[in-house]
Amino acid sequence: MNFRALNHEDIEVFSEAISAFFLNMTHESAVVRTAYLLDGSSAPLWSDFNGMIDVSGGFRGSITFSAPHGMLSQVLQAIGEREHSVDRCLDVVGEIANMMSGRARRHFGEELAISPPSARLRTLPPSVPRATGVPFAIPLRWRTHEANLVVHLDIRR
């Protein structure tokens, strides 16, 4: 089976989605910077909390949102959540990854099968990548915090 890598329009869907999440949920914009390729020598972008979605169907790979604890605590505060526990932070990164995959499904079509989100702490290693193409990192800043959305998808031609 032949697969193709993501193109500029595909990446733009994710950049717009992560920007929309912060604006809609917190009423504050995130500054989404230019996406870049993560080459094989780069360490995986793995932060305090990491929400992941595996994709399949006509695709293979994953979408991961990685963010520091301080950012997630402030997001929870901004949405009116009083509890800022580890479990609530894990819920937030999982929900952001889930939202990103939902946007991807609208862009790529129903053939994109998504798994339920999983969330991991920094202390757990990243999952083994299922895609063979080069992953894209989409860095963003919200308030004073940096986070990354990593899109690692191969698309069946």
Q: What is the per-residue DSSP string for 41-85?
A: TSPP---SEEEEEEEEESEEEEEEEEE-HHHHHHHHHHTT-----
Q: What is the mean pLDDT of residues 1-5?
A: 71
**What is the pLDDT, as a whole number, of residue 122?**
86
Cα distance between residue 66 and residue 48, in whole Å: 7
**What is the pLDDT, as a whole number, of residue 18?**
92
Half-sphere exposure of 6 (CA within 13 A, CB side): 29
- What pLDDT, in 10s, does the model give residues 86-127? 999 999 999 898 888 888 888 888 888 888 888 999 887 666
User: How much is the pTM?
Assistant: 0.89
**Token pair belonging to 97:** 């990854």
**What is the pLDDT, as a whole number, of residue 80?**
94
Phi, psi of 45 (to 5 degrees): -80, 100
